[in-house]
Amino acid sequence: MNTIRILVTGGTFDKEYDELAGSLFFQDTHVPEMLRLGRSCLKAEIRTLMMVDSLDMSDADRANILEHCRACPCERILVTHGTDRMEVTARLLGQSNLGKTIVLTGAMVPYKFGSSDGLFNLGAALAFVQVLPHGVYVAMNGRALPWDKVRKNRKTGMFEEIEA
Amino acid sequence: MNTIRILVTGGTFDKEYDELAGSLFFQDTHVPEMLRLGRSCLKAEIRTLMMVDSLDMSDADRANILEHCRACPCERILVTHGTDRMEVTARLLGQSNLGKTIVLTGAMVPYKFGSSDGLFNLGAALAFVQVLPHGVYVAMNGRALPWDKVRKNRKTGMFEEIEA
Amino acid sequence: MNTIRILVTGGTFDKEYDELAGSLFFQDTHVPEMLRLGRSCLKAEIRTLMMVDSLDMSDADRANILEHCRACPCERILVTHGTDRMEVTARLLGQSNLGKTIVLTGAMVPYKFGSSDGLFNLGAALAFVQVLPHGVYVAMNGRALPWDKVRKNRKTGMFEEIEA
Amino acid sequence: MNTIRILVTGGTFDKEYDELAGSLFFQDTHVPEMLRLGRSCLKAEIRTLMMVDSLDMSDADRANILEHCRACPCERILVTHGTDRMEVTARLLGQSNLGKTIVLTGAMVPYKFGSSDGLFNLGAALAFVQVLPHGVYVAMNGRALPWDKVRKNRKTGMFEEIEA
């Protein structure tokens, strides 16, 4: 079993409720807790690169993610990411031709909310990253779409397949 | 996008708490609710074949599952199943060489319990069933193991890879 | 059994996550759902007066709440309220000497978050409103404090007893 | 603020799911976790007397509970209890005239299940135990009924008021 590198960048996935301020914020990632809940036996190494809303992600942040994907000895990489700019980061990674299987996933509702899609998405993304050929994919809504064929529909919140 | 057939057989996945009797029982399957929670956009047809604990599954029940897998026009089939005898049903399906991709999954903790692995497993199983080549697999603990190489460890509750 | 009037004004209690905007907002109140979950057999009439964060509550809003408390035929009234200005509304109601038992409660974490105190608070508030003598109280943190002896500690988020 | 003694005896409240055996069992009580969730600031001392289904509670068990209520220096006592025989223990405590306020509560659905009434009941019971006069009460379904006027309806699962 090969090790999967999990790069955490934040996103809705990891938003917490700040009970004093009454707003959402980032603390630590929930990915380790989610892996325990899923009783995962995969060899996964988790690195938190940043904890940001993808709307606040800068080009420098994206370059940082790219650099980690490139430098990482693992051939299979999962990136947790805010959904609003997931396709932008996917495009950068895809155009860089890293010769690895990279899957981006996230959540529409914070993991800590009862109605979160996060655990479902993480399970799917971990499965896809193990078996898909080299390339960059967005895993949302139960499927994996190639980086050059995916767009988030802002009205429905669903990731759609588009012409490359 | 091809349609995925989901065959529901019960298992811990779908156990509910009977508040009057104070025990666990089966009512309806939670799979449709789980797909909504996961915001799945997959074309899935759900058929409930039975709602049983896999310890109570008979040879006739297993023959029934096999027959449905054979007759089903879909090439990709997901079977939700109790974990205790998942490997037995997987073996029957695997030895039958149906020329389809069949993935069995389930849960160690009922979906309705806060600590359930069900949503994670369903996400992973749906991903695996879309991309794995023809064959029969058990998808638990974040990975998919071929039907002839899988065994549930009764002490740890984890599915292990064994020699075929 | 006398009818309890429940006046809904919003507050953290009822905040939902808007998955498209990625922010918290108000939709419908969760109070009826919470009463079902608590298997309440109380006779309760729920009226939604407004759905606002108490930081956004105006003097006119508070006058509206007061008027409803005064006009209501029920002697026992529960008001769900944002925690940040709960003491302000409690003071207005308390100084008005309505000759009724009025209990204000709310939540530090939205009901839909797994870690919400909302259900606990609602159970406590409903108990207090049934048995406390006429007066106005804030029910938070497991106890009921009179309107003229309560203050929210902004640093801890706890409601403290102060000198009247 | 006077200290409340909480006597834990088990019941549905505290049932956990044993993922290896596939059945419900008792481990530790969830009461401390529930008090944290409810952000309780009450002074409460928790003693676990037993962890049993009330159907399995013996006369010796009930005598044990009575003895603890009698010997306890606190005047206000909360007893968590299985619902099936809650009225039996309440009767024993009530007939003993201890000159204290004793409230029994429990849950129809285990706390760890998403649909549990436990947190609501605990909030209500803690409120009742602080303000009701000396006597023994069952706090379920949002209200407190005196020990000699309460019966669980086996068909509906609700606690009803009966003639003393």
pLDDT in tens, A69-101: 999 999 999 999 999 999 999 999 999 999 999
Which two tokens mark A146? 């190639």
Measure the CA dihedral B33/B132/A111/B9, to 10°.
30
Is the pTM for the entire model greater than 0.90? yes
Give the relative orientation of helices D86-95 and D59-71 as an angle to the nearest 10 degrees.
50
pLDDT in tens, A119-149: 999 999 999 999 999 999 999 999 999 999 9
| B-chain residue closest to A128, CA distance | B127
At residue A34, φ and ψ (nearest 5 deg) are: -70, -35
Q: How confident is the model at residue B12 (pLDDT cuts 50, 70, 90)?
A: very high
Query: Between B12, B53, B112, which is nearest D114 by CB?
Result: B112
Q: Do A127 and B128 touch (CB under 8 A)?
A: yes
Chains A and B form CB pairs within 8 A to the count of: 120
**Percentage of chain C with pLDDT > 70?**
100
pLDDT in tens, C76-106: 999 999 999 999 999 999 999 999 999 999 9
Q: How far apart are CA A96 and CA A84, in angstroms?
A: 21
In degrees, to the nearest 5, what angle opens at C-alpha B109 toward C-alphas A107 and B160? Answer: 90
Q: How confident is the model at residue B91 (pLDDT cuts 50, 70, 90)?
A: very high
ipTM, interface predicted TM-score of the complex: 0.97
Helix or strand or coil: residue A155? coil
Q: How many CB atoms lie within 10 A of CB C87?
A: 23
**Which of A41, A115, A134 to mutate to test binding with chain B, by most B CBs within 10 Å of its CB?**
A41
C55 within 8 A of C64, measured Cβ to Cβ: no
Q: How far apart are CA D145 and CA D151, in angstroms?
A: 9
At residue B103, the pLDDT reads 98
Q: Is the pLDDT of residue C164 over 90?
A: no
B6 within 8 A of B44, measured Cβ to Cβ: yes
Q: Is the pLDDT of residue A26 over 90?
A: yes
| D91-114: average pLDDT | 95
Let me know if B120 is exposed, middle or buried by CB neighbors in 10 A (0-12, 13-18, 19+): buried
The long-range contacts involving C146-149, CB below 8 angstroms and separated by at least 24 positions, are C146/C94, C147/C87, C147/C90, C147/C91, C147/C93, C147/C94, C148/C91, C148/C94
Better-scored residue on pLDDT, B65 or C1: B65
At residue A88, the pLDDT reads 98
| B16-29: average pLDDT | 91
Which residues of chain C are at the A interface, by a Cβ-Cβ cutoff of 8 Å? Answer: 12, 17, 19-20, 22-24, 53, 55, 84, 108-110, 112-115, 154-155, 157
